[in-house]
Structure 1
Amino acid sequence: MHSRLDACFATAREEGRSALIGYLPAGFPTVDGAIAAMRAMVAAGVDVVEVGLPYSDPTMDGPVIQDAADAALRGGVSTADVLRTVEAVAETGAPTLVMTYWNPVDRYGPARFAADLAAAGGAGTITPDLPPEESGPWLAAAAEHGLDPVFLVAPSSSDERIKRVADICRGFVYAASLMGVTGARAEVGNAAAGLVGRVRAVSDLPVAVGLGVSSAAQAARVASFADGVIVGSALVRVLLEARRRGAGESEALKDIGALAAELAAGVRGAVPASA
Structure 2
Amino acid sequence: MTKTKAAFAEGKAFIPFLTAGDPSLAVTEELIVELASAGADLIEIGIPFSDPVAEGPVIQRADERALAAGITADGIFEMVRRVREKTGVPLAFMTYINPIYRYGSERFVKRCAEMSLDALIVPDLPFEEKGELQPYCAKYGVDLISLIAPTSKARIRTIAREAEGFLYCVSSLGVTGVRTAITADVGEMVSLAREVSNIPCAIGFGIATPQQAEDMARKADGAIVGSAIMKIIAKYGTDCVPHVTAYAREMAQAVHGVR
**TM-score bracket, shorter-length normalisation:** over 0.9
SS at match of 1:11: coil
For the Cα contact (< 8 Å) 2:30–2:241, is it kept in 1?
A: yes
Distance (whole Å) between structure 2 residues aligned to residue 199 and residue 85 of structure 1: 35
SS at match of 1:112: helix
SS at match of 2:202: strand
- In the alignment, what sits opposite 2:2? 3
Stretch deviating more after TM superposition (165-174 or 66-75)? 165-174
TM-fit CA distance, 1:131: 1.2
Query: What is the CA deviation profile of residues 64-114 of structure 1, one whole-angstrom value per residue up to 9, with x for unaligned ones?
Result: 001111000000110112212333344411100000111111111111111
Amino acid at match of 1:265: Q
Q: Pairwise mapping of residues 87-98 of structure 1 onto structure 2 (< 5 A)? A: 87-90=81-84, 91-98=86-93
For the Cα contact (< 8 Å) 1:8–1:95, is it kept in 2?
A: yes
Q: Pairwise mapping of residues 12-161 of structure 1 onto structure 2 (< 5 A)? A: 12=11, 18-90=12-84, 91-159=86-154, 161=155
Distance (whole Å) between structure 1 residues aligned to residue 56 and residue 7 of structure 2: 28
- In the alignment, what sits opposite 1:222? 216
TM-fit CA distance, 1:11: 2.3
2:202 pairs with 1:208: yes
Distance (whole Å) between structure 2 residues aligned to residue 167 and residue 201 of structure 1: 9
Q: CA RMSD in A?
A: 1.5
Q: Which runs of 5+ in 2 are unaligned?
A: none
Stretch deviating more after TM superposition (118-127 or 185-194)? 185-194
Distance (whole Å) between structure 2 residues aligned to residue 69 and residue 226 of structure 1: 29
For the Cα contact (< 8 Å) 1:86–1:97, is it kept in 2?
A: no
Amino acid at match of 1:57: D
Q: How many residues get paired?
A: 258
Question: How high is the sequence identity, in percent, across the aligned residues?
Answer: 37
For the Cα contact (< 8 Å) 1:89–1:96, is it kept in 2?
A: no
- In the alignment, what sits opposite 1:242? 236
For the Cα contact (< 8 Å) 2:208–2:228, is it kept in 1?
A: yes
TM-score (normalizing by structure 2): 0.95
TM-fit CA distance, 1:138: 0.7
TM-fit CA distance, 1:28: 0.6
TM-score (normalizing by structure 1): 0.90
Structure having greater relative contact order (Cα 8 Å, sep ≥ 6): 2
Query: What is the CA deviation profile of residues 225-267 of structure 1, one whole-angstrom value per residue up to 9, with x for unaligned ones?
Result: 1111100001111100113xxxxx4x41110001100101100
Query: What is the CA deviation profile of residues 175-225 of structure 1, one whole-angstrom value per residue up to 9, with x for unaligned ones?
Result: 000101000111123421221112112221000000011011111111111
Q: Pairwise mapping of residues 148-187 of structure 1 onto structure 2 (< 5 A)? A: 148-159=143-154, 161-187=155-181
